[in-house]
Amino acid sequence: ITACDKAEVQVAPLSHDSFDTLLAKHVDVNGDVNYADFKNDEMVLSAYLDLLKENEPQDSWSDNKTMAYWINVYNAYTIYNILLEYPVSSIMDIESGAIWTTRTINIGGTDYTLDQIEKDELVRTFNEPRVHFAVNCAATSCPPLLNKAWTEDNIQQYYASQARSFINNTTYNTIMNSSIEVSEIFNWYAGDFGGSTQIVSYVQQYSDTSIDNAATVTYRTYDWTLNEQ
């Protein structure tokens, strides 16, 4: 193999910079996405996904680096699938609402669904329920898409800020002392938050409003409309 051939097969090092630039350009502070404009950068996003595919997580990586990697895979791949189908009014219109288990991305020779990335590679591997506030399913009721790429250095800061801002945002949750109406995410993934009897306790950690330990819990209907500007 010649030196030239070696240069051609060299894999570019992992960097989330291009995704960070795309998010800053096309996502506002509320997490709403300008998909029409993003469509013009579809090839840039595709190249970023290729970079992720070529740089699968290594045992030597820190937990923070690995988690940031998988969060970015999830969010970038979700956006990419929306762009492939755009214009679309809801992610539920794709694959008859089964996109999370039907479409896969190949990383290191293994095909991963979005569900597997969220539930297995992230939440179960790291026992980190705040993943649910980091990955974005492109719907209005999803915790807002961060307009920055997740990195090894910023992940713990953004885990905390995303959890706090989501829980205290009345668009997603209504928190009162004696009752809380919370996102369906707390119902669907109750086990990740300690079980259905622990939802009040979990929300208390981040709520700006004092919540009684015996507060009643109800769940808000999920809005699957596209998170579009």
Q: Summarize pLDDT for 50-63 with one digit per residue, the tens.
A: 999 999 999 999 99
Q: Is the pLDDT of residue 25 over 70?
A: yes
pLDDT value, residue 11: 83
**Beta bridge partner(s), residue 217:** 180
> In sequence order, which residues have a C-beta less than 8 Å from that of residue 121 and are 6 or more positions away?
70, 112
Q: Is the pLDDT of residue 4 over 70?
A: no
**Beta bridge partner(s), residue 182:** 219
CA 213 to chain centre: 30
| Distance (Å, whole) CA 167 – CA 162 | 8
pLDDT value, residue 189: 98
pLDDT band at residue 172 under the 50/70/90 scheme:
very high
Question: Is 165 in contact with 117 (CB distance < 8 Å)?
Answer: no
Q: Can you give the length of the chain in residues?
A: 229
